[in-house]
Amino acid sequence: MEKYLKTPLYHGTDDFIGYMSKEEREDIKKKCFLMIELLSKIYDDNKFEKVYSGKNTKEINDILDYLIAAHSALKNNVFYEYNDIYLTSSLQAAIKFSKNAYHYGEIGTIAWKLYEGISIVNYQLPQLTQEQQDALDSIIGFAKHDPEPVVYAFKNLPIENLVEEGGRKKEFEIALNKETGIISSDIGIRYKGELSFIGENVYKFTIEELKELRPNLFN
């Protein structure tokens, strides 16, 4: 049985995130959750979901979607867990993820969209603690930097560290040919453990480079 995956896996992100240390990423994740907890409480206290339960503008519907995602993240829903690195066997999916990553990925985007939404619905922030203010400053800072989407390609990852994106090993094994180490379909995957973004089996591509290498993905 093959021990290493022969299908390349991809991770779409923003370039500045790839240069962060583990400690820096943990700090930003903590700040994102702090703001999500604060902001979702503001919406909940104002009964946002009940008030806007009918037909709404796209702006309001987007806020509703992000509020639902916030609730799921705070409840540790299996599809909103952020302790592992998420990968995909689809290069096209990774490209899409990279273009939406400059707010610090999904968790940062949720925090930013909820913050952006309070001005749309005329809610007010409470008096913030210094910790909350620092977290908010970081969220706003992400929104101001120019996006630098990149895609990392990983080869020969150890199969024992890979599970399906929902955390299920069996679902991953169904898509895997154990003899060849090849995945038979495009799926989302989690990497369990520490994954280095540098090394001989790691390759980084800008979107411009991918447009030259795989122009069919951008038509």
Instruction: Name residue 4's amino acid.
Output: Y
Rounded CA-CA distance 110/6 in Å is: 34
Q: How far is CA 51 from CA 39, 56, 93, 178, in A?
A: 17, 10, 35, 52
Number of domains making up the chain: 1
Q: Are 143 and 112 in contact (CB under 8 A)?
A: yes
State which residues form the domain around 92: 9-218
Rounded CA-CA distance 87/93 in Å is: 10
Evaluate whether residue 119 is within a structural domain: yes
Instruction: Kindly report the number of other CB atoms within 10 A of residue 184's CB atom.
Output: 12
What one-character DSSP code corresponds to residue 160?
G
Evaluate whether residue 4 is within a structural domain: no
Evaluate whether residue 213 is within a structural domain: yes
What one-character DSSP code corresponds to residue 126?
-
What does each of the 219 residues of the chain score in pLDDT, given as a tens digit? 679 999 999 999 999 887 888 889 889 999 999 999 999 999 999 999 888 877 788 999 999 999 999 999 998 775 566 778 899 999 999 999 999 888 888 899 999 999 999 999 999 999 999 999 999 999 998 888 888 999 999 999 999 999 999 888 999 999 999 999 999 888 999 999 889 888 889 999 999 999 999 999 887
Write down the residue that tokens 């503008």 correspond to. Answer: 57
Rounded CA-CA distance 108/93 in Å is: 19
Evaluate whether residue 127 is within a structural domain: yes
